[in-house]
Amino acid sequence: MKPSVVYSQSLKHNLSQYGIEVPLKDTRAELTLEHLLSIPQLGAVKEKWFHEFMGEPYSVERLNQCHDQVYVDMITNHPEMALIKSFELVDDKGNYNRYNPKAATSPLKEMVNSHLLHVQALIESSNRALQTGFSYLLGGGMHHAMSFGGRGFCFVNDIVITLTELLRAGKINSAWVIDVDCHKGDGTAELTKDNDLIQTLSIHMKDGWPLDDQNASAPQFTPSTVDIPIGVGEEGLYLSELERGLNRLRDNSRLPGLCIVVGGADPYEKDILKSAELLKLSEDQMLARDMLVFNFLKQLGVPQSYCIAGGYGHDVWKIYANFLEKVLLQSYL
């Protein structure tokens, strides 16, 4: 295994420049990379593990492989409307929600290409994982986007798009998604519910968004292959429940050609997003989480492709950095 980290400045989409007031900091990727490069053993061999993404945005026309044509047409013809719905920038009463267009310095529609760059970056990073065994994209992870539209800050589902591309190209014959973000991977579950080639695991808050809808038949309740809800105050059970769930995934499906890990940092106790506050893991627990998934897949010989997913505030970069530091030092010392 020769792990890779994939990133470039082109993947930055500073939400504040569009007037969006969500505490998703672009600095988390940059601070993670800066930390890794500051470690002498890793900085000296940067060319072995760091790969700059140089690709073009994923084609809008190909989005209908996963998203329905009505949504693709909205993206094409009314991109601002698609983005407003995805980021929930207008509430039920028509008022702006976490959105101040007067403060924007760039047109909202420019975010479309920014998100499509993340899709292409995950495709390229996943291809690298097939070659080297492990690749970590400092971007991506839009797991709430469903067939009919974006939601929860997720514009299109780069995870399912990537796996669809790899399956159709014959590069893999099956796949897993392991989602350790604080919120249920509901979009991924909805998009893959009828696809036996993609098996999904989601460990997430038992209560709160997106499972706070009173309608139990709402699409966000679509079951994953393995769902692991963690209730308030049950952080002490998190690692044992995750291990049990991983074993269920292994025992009930064939080994895949690739696993995409949705590595959200928002279960971290210092994450500041209000909708993530019902799950609070310590820094040590977060590293143990990531190493548990990593070692599980490594022992099975399954290539691992990671995306950064959710993580809010100034401290979450440490979660990505801690994990990558350990993985890279194991491989390049």
Q: What is the DSSP string of 66-106?
A: TS-HHHHHHHHH-HHHHHHHHTT-B-TTS-BSSB-GGG-SS
Contact 80, 71 (CB under 8 A): no
Contact 222, 186 (CB under 8 A): yes
Helix (H, G, I), strand (E, B) or coil at 234: coil
- Per-residue pLDDT, 246: 98
- Per-residue pLDDT, 256: 98
Helix (H, G, I), strand (E, B) or coil at 202: strand
Element (H, E) at 306: strand 304-307
Q: Which one-letter DSSP state was computed for residue 274?
A: G
Which parts of the chain sit beneath pLDDT 70?
none
Give whole-number Cα distances, 27 to 31, 171, 250, 299, in Å.
6, 33, 35, 33
Token pair 């995805």 in the structure block, residue: 86
Q: What is the CA radius of gyration of the chain?
A: 18
**56-99 pLDDT per residue, tens:** 999 999 999 999 999 999 999 999 999 999 999 998 888 998 89
Contact 320, 146 (CB under 8 A): no
Through-space distance between the first and last CA atoms of the chain, rounded to whole angstroms? 13
Tokens read off for 252: 């009930």
Helix (H, G, I), strand (E, B) or coil at 146: strand
- Per-residue pLDDT, 188: 98
- Per-residue pLDDT, 270: 96
Give whole-number Cα distances, 323 to 156, 225, 266, in Å.
26, 26, 15
Element (H, E) at 130: helix 111-132
Give whole-number Cα distances, 185 to 12, 93, 277, 319, in Å.
23, 27, 17, 20
